[in-house]
Structure 1
Amino acid sequence: MDEFVVHYNTKRLHSAIGYIAPQDKLLGRKKEIFLERDRKLSEARQRRAAKRKIV
């Protein structure tokens, strides 16, 4: 049971709190996580646009 609680609070992403782990929210990492997520999404969009670009 202890393993489940640790996983649930530290690894599992929760939709109600923006798909971050509860521990990250409690430690104030939400902004950092969202900035990193946005950066990765932006890079992926740029790669897809470059791949679709007709030369």
Structure 2
Amino acid sequence: MKEPSKNKSADTDWEIDIQSCSATDCTGLIPALPESDAELEHYQDLYHYLPDEKK
């Protein structure tokens, strides 16, 4: 019996490893503009993405 090739190319696009620019990228965190300051604060609690305020 013939052994499968180890260098087989991917049959579909989803089998190909996706190269990302950052392992910690959180693109798409906020799907729509927050409607209130409280909603914006909740997003900030989930993921610190805004720069700290200068004092």
TM-score calculated relative to the size of structure 1 = 0.21
TM-score calculated relative to the size of structure 2 = 0.21
- Higher Cα Rg, which structure: 2
